Chain A
């Protein structure tokens, strides 16, 4: 008694099967068999066709999605590679029209800004994550919610915040303000990633440590932080790779574009001169390589350390 349409020709439940078999005789069941088979064959053909169609669409989607990503990496490599040389990496920028010149100040500036941001963000992130790890209740839930909200705040808004807090009152642009902006940007990502990593350490171990009379700081260091190390490294590296590539928070905080790689790409890339655009491509390639290596490293570290822990 299969209904036509898209239905699958099976009984709704095992109980029905037993009942119907008990009620119907052998002959009756044999009479129904071809009807059921025909219905199944009819719908199956349609269902298989729909499946094939959708599978083709999925393959198409994958191709459409992959094409721009491949093109993006390909063009950056293709246009950037000719501009990269040792002198490009070690020389200071020169004005338009002067041959030579490099991006050493931008690389050093980016490293300094991100490094200072890490010094600010990592300890606060770890301690705040430990706070969330050991405490329950409204405050912890509120901080967690706040971190999720701050993760979603656009980086340009954070840049404006740093400008209003550190640039305007002090009347000059500074790397400190840029680092502060990046730290605010990375902090919520770090807190959530750190807490997630700490959650993989069983609460029993923490309780055992505390029951042994160890100080909370000792338990945090020897049990929680050590156990969560792979996750901590991965989460923080990913946060760094996000911070390195940010442009908007630096826009209103760094003194000159030649003091950060992302700003240099923005200002040189929007110039009409081919030599400036060449510099932008090469800088973009350096930045892209750096970010991809950081991101790849995060995954390798996670993989290696998880294997060792097992």
Chain B
């Protein structure tokens, strides 16, 4: 067979294939794929655009000062997101103060220290608990934890001399502190599950190398395992911060819903999410509703910024590699 006829037969083969392709509707699949991708992009854009449009009335009413103005008083037609932003950031911050050490310690325990018979079932239980709906956490916190906090936990913190200024004021139970604990309990299983996976993923060879250099178990964990898993750990924490910022129902159940300047951790407060839940039903049509939707817009921007920042940070870190061993650790 000559090269020419070969090329010709290849052409005719291509032609046949193209015909079969068209006749049997292979295009439909390609179209459907494009349609799905397009639909997803449309939903994304629709979300941003519709919330932007619906909150524009509130911004027109309150001005750009909506973002930092401290008063939320529907009766006087005064709306501002400032205090709610502060409440959101404070509850998330306190929750992270609890979650980061406890979650990473627990992940290190499960991945590095616990015996196999304990680590396996326990890790599986944590993975399952990551699916617990936040409403169940909220219910438990409201009906079980809240009285305990009012009678025991908050008075206890008040009795500690130095911390007292953080916890002054009467203890009711529902408070910023309780909301933070709810957020911590809610995000803990996710942080533990993802961090544990990242820690377990650090190569055995890297650990052995450190051990061969005379490092103790803890030194191996600190110098090799944690640095090697840092991108996975950072991802899990970003996720936790994002979820804590955006949680609404569980927080609304336990924070006491008082949109005023939080002067103490045991005082009731409000977050963007909890305010949306509580104000939406009562909002007057028009400006009121639009202002609540503007709160959603602020929350959207806040969480998008955190997630985009987290992604950029992860990209900067690159894939997890064991860190260089610090120079001071090795004798010259």
Binding site for B on A (CB under 8 A): 1-3, 5-12, 40, 44, 47-48, 50-51, 54-55, 57-62, 64-66, 68-69, 71-73, 75-76, 79, 123-128, 130-132, 134, 139, 142-143, 145-158, 160-161, 164-165, 184, 187, 191, 213, 215-217, 220, 238, 241-242, 244-248, 251-252, 262, 265-266, 269-270, 277, 280-281, 284, 287-288, 291-292, 294-296, 299
10 A-B interface contacts by CB (under 8 A) = A59-B109, A64-B102, A65-B102, A71-B144, A152-B239, A266-B253, A277-B143, A288-B133, A288-B136, A291-B131
Are A124 and B39 in contact, with the CB atoms below 8 A?
Answer: yes
In whole Å, how far is A271's beta carbon from the nearest beta carbon of chain B? 11
| B35 A65 Cβ-Cβ under 8 A | no
Q: Which of these, A2, A146, A216, contacts B26 with CB under 8 Å?
A: A216
Which residue of B is nearest A287, CB measured? Answer: B133
Q: Find out whether the CB atom of B277 lies under 8 angstroms from the CB atom of A156.
A: yes
* Cβ–Cβ contact B214 & A8, under 8 A: yes
With A59-B109, A65-B103, A245-B134 already in contact, the answer to whether A157 and B124 are too (CB < 8 A) is no
Q: Inside 8 A of B273's CB, which chain A residues have their CB? A: 154, 156, 248
A245 to chain B, nearest CB (A): 3
- Tell me, yes or no, whether B269 is within 8 Å of chain A by CB: no
Complex: A200 Cα to B23 Cα, angstroms: 32
Nearest opposing residue in chain A for B292, CB measure? A160
Given that A7-B329, A10-B330 are known contacts, is A143 also in contact with B304, CB under 8 Å in the complex?
no
Given A7-B328, A7-B329, A248-B249, answer yes or no on A65-B40 (Cβ-Cβ < 8 Å): no
Cα separation A176 to B307 with both chains bound (whole Å): 29
A10 to B108, CA, bound (A): 27
Given A55-B218, A69-B188, A164-B50, does the pair A265, B331 have CB atoms closer than 8 Å?
no
Are the CB atoms of A262 and B133 closer together than 8 Å? yes
Minimum CB distance partner of B219 in chain A: A47
A154: which B residues are within 8 A, CB to CB?
245-248, 273, 299-300, 303
Q: What's the least CB distance linking A175 to chain B, in Å?
A: 19
> Given known contacts A155-B246, A160-B51, is B36 in contact with A270 (CB within 8 Å)?
no
Q: Select one of A69, A71, A73, A281 contacting B139, CB under 8 A.
A: A281
Please give the distance in Å from A74's CB to the nearest CB on chain B.
10
- Cβ of B178 to closest chain A Cβ, rounded Å: 12
Contacting A123 at CB < 8 Å: which of B36, B101, B218, B249?
A: B36
B90 in contact (CB, < 8 A): no
- Name the interface size band of chain B: 35 or more
A59 CA to B218 CA, complexed, in Å: 13
Q: Complex formed: what's the CA distance from A74 to B120 in Å?
A: 21
> With a CB–CB cut-off of 8 A, which chain B residues contact A149?
44, 304, 307-308
**Is the pair B246, A127 in contact by a Cβ cutoff of 8 Å?**
no
Q: Answer whether residue B64 sits at the interface, using C-beta atoms and an 8 A cutoff.
A: no
* Shortest Cβ gap from B42 to chain A (Å): 11
- Interface residues, chain B, with chain A CB atoms under 8 Å away: 17, 20-21, 24, 26, 28-30, 32-37, 39-41, 43-44, 46-47, 50-51, 54, 101-106, 108-110, 112-114, 122, 124, 126-140, 142-144, 181, 185, 188-189, 192, 213-219, 221, 239, 242, 245-249, 253, 273, 276-277, 280, 292-293, 296, 299-300, 303-304, 306-308, 311, 328-332
A68–B141 CA distance with the chains assembled, in angstroms: 10
A155: B residues at CB distance < 8 A:
246, 248
The docked-state distance in angstroms from the alpha carbon of A252 to that of B279 is 12
Q: Is the CB–CB distance between B40 and A147 below 8 Å?
A: yes
CA of A146 to CA of B48 in the docked complex: distance in angstroms?
12
A65-B102, A143-B37 are known contacts. Are A50 and B218 too (CB-CB below 8 A)? yes
| Distance of A262 Cα from B40 Cα, bound (Å) | 27
- Cα(A151)–Cα(B50), bound, Å: 18
Q: Taking the nearest CB of chain B, how far is it from the CB of A114, in angstroms?
A: 12
Rounded to whole Å, the gap between the CB of B246 and the closest CB of chain A is: 3
B131 near A294 (CB under 8 angstroms)? yes
On whether the beta carbons of B185 and A215 are closer than 8 Å, the reply is: no
Partner of A296, one of B20, B106, B128, B253: B128
Is there contact, CB below 8 Å, between B217 and A51? yes
Contacts of B181 in A (CB 8 A): 68
Which of A1, A62, A152 makes the CB contact (< 8 A) with B331? Answer: A1
- The minimal Cβ–Cβ distance linking B34 to chain A, given in whole angstroms, is 7
- Determine the distance from Cα of A266 to Cα of B108 in the docked complex, in whole angstroms: 35
User: What distance in Å separates the Cβ of B160 from its nearest Cβ neighbour in chain A?
Assistant: 18
Bound-state Cα–Cα, A161 to B276, Å: 13
**Contact among A1, A62, A75, A294 for B332, CB-based, below 8 A:** A1
Once the chains bind, are A146 and B44 in contact (CB under 8 Å)?
Answer: yes
B277 engages A217 (CB within 8 Å):
no
Contacts of A187 in B (CB 8 A): 40, 43
